Amino acid sequence: MMHGWIEMGLRATVVGSRWMVTSSHPAASYAGLKVFENGGNVVDAALAVSAVLCVVQNNMCGLGGDLFCLLRLKGKVMGLNGSGRAAELATVENYAKQGLKAIPSRGPLAAVTVPGLADAWNELYTNYATMSIDVLLRDAVRLAREGFAIPRGYANSINAASEQLGQYTNWRKIFLGESTRVAPGHILRQSDLASSLELIASEGPRSLYEGELAKKVASGAEKLGSPIRAEDLAKHRSTWDEPLATEYRGVKVYETAPNSQGAAVLLWLNMLSELTLRGKPWDSAETTKLLYRTCALAYRERARSISDPTSFPLPSDFLSKAFARSLLTESSDALQMSPSKRDLGDTTYFAVADSEGNCASVIQSNYMGFGSGIVPEGTGIVLHNRGCYFSLDPSHHNSLRPGKRTFHTLCASIGEKDGKTKFVLGSMGGDVQPQIHVQLITKLLDFDMDIQDAIDAPRWVALGTIYDSGQSLLIEKDLEYLIPELRAAGLTFSPIPPRSSTTGHAQGIIFGQEGELHAGADPRGDGAALGI
């Protein structure tokens, strides 16, 4: 069953012959493309895009957050884990002394893990960049100091967050000023953030961990009540982790390794590889039921098996075809879901590529909108609240412990076929990111969709964290006609508006037969794909 929206498309696919950037903000995509035009490589472009997003989408990401990246350079795929670790003072016992049974989602006690993004920049810059850091950060500094006009989504994000975060003076000064609400078109200037970026430009990204910026962050965080200290910042290092991979429909699909949840994507694809999708309409109840049933199994195993691998390694058979086949033999009766009330995360994803197949698949986040809401004085940096995903149950495999990384919703993907890059894709969406990956990958590889059409296509999601025994099942209204048949099969999907942010903001690039680059950006967000 095909509909007019998919035949005509919501946006035109962008095609280029040399370079491509697709991100969730036009200014970021433009910054990356300029770097390419000025002689930079994929990593240079990625750093410029990442920095601009830290200014124009710092409700979703920022210097106070984390970053994961897959790189494919000269035919080799590498994974960079830029997620932060829990502070030494962040212990189950210290939270128990304050009478807390869960880590607060906002405020100083939510800021319990070190920001990892800037050190990830350091690794990318020192190992693979060709342009100077001050040049790569130039657009970000300018946009922070001179300001930019915020779009409707950003204005809505500020106004929604103000109910919780307006109590924090430094956050309120930056994002609300003397107002109680902001409107689309408001010029947001962030002079302190510009100064922080300038420190990184002059001292290098490690300034946030050992330089002048580290002093400001550590003293400001402590003053506000966060457990993060100078020692936590100084000892933090990103890690280069071997990406995980599996074969699906003749394509080698790579995902970021744990503590990222990317392994759930690969387990799910392993199950689907035992089944047939081609020949079925992608937008049928039959296909949706098949995808959801395998999703539920993959997510159950995600909840059991993914955490910081240094303390809880991924089971050795997790990505084996035999394990996937064994899951498919289980009765679907055990997979009925009940409603979940967990929050979605706020994140931003982007992809950059050149015609030689070099590419970067990058995702960065503050976790919930504006993270913890805590801003160390004079930095303009909102510290993330990723650490609130930890459990305070000492027996749980994702329990809080100093120096530990939490289970992380961020994941990024790259596909290879016949030794060449096939696709680069990812999406924001918190816990639902694997669902968006699989829905996009199956549309590309099973249903031969164009990348923009695959992104435009209506989606469904099952909301819930690794702690939830149930999921809330939501489906965009374009697929509302499937609900009666899905309910008859015991799946209670509820309709949500078309192109809802609940189903993520995805970006992607496909490599064509002649090396040309096809890119799409999600109409659910403010994204833009730009290529030459």
Alpha helices for 166-283 (secondary structure H):
169-175, 191-203, 207-210, 212-224, 230-235, 262-272
Q: Determine the Cα–Cα distance for residues 288 and 268; give it in Å rounded to an integer.
A: 14
Which tokens hold the place of 259?
Answer: 């503590």
Give the strand pairing for 506-511 and 493-496: unpaired
32, burial (CB in 10 Å: exposed 0-12, middle 13-18, buried 19+)? buried
Q: Determine the Cα–Cα distance for residues 213 and 215; give it in Å rounded to an integer.
A: 5
Alpha helices for 14-132 (secondary structure H):
26-37, 42-56, 92-97, 117-128
**Nearest in space to 355 (alpha carbons), one of 514, 159, 465:** 514
**Nearest in space to 491 (alpha carbons), one of 467, 478, 472, 469:** 472
Q: Would you say 53 and 78 are in contact if contact means Cβ atoms under 8 Å apart? A: no
The catalytic position among 22, 288, 347, 348 is 347
Radius of gyration, CA atoms only, the chain: 22
Known active-site residue 347: yes
Q: Would you say 157 and 164 are in contact if contact means Cβ atoms under 8 Å apart? A: no
**What are the φ/ψ torsions at residue 147 (nearest 5 degrees)?**
95, 165
Q: Which residues contact 76 (CB under 8 A, 6 or more apart)?
A: none
- The DSSP letter of residue 86 is B
Q: Determine the Cα–Cα distance for residues 519 and 527; give it in Å rounded to an integer.
A: 11
Helix axes 285-305, 321-328, angle to 10 degrees: 120
Q: Residue 224: enclosing H or E segment and its boundaries?
A: helix 212-224
| Start-to-end C-alpha separation, the chain | 35
**Helix, strand counts (H, E) of the chain:** 19, 19
Task: Tell me which amino acid residue 507 is.
Answer: Q
Give the strand pairing for 472-476 and 359-367: unpaired
Give the strand pairing for 19-23 and 528-531: antiparallel
- Residues marked as catalytic: 347
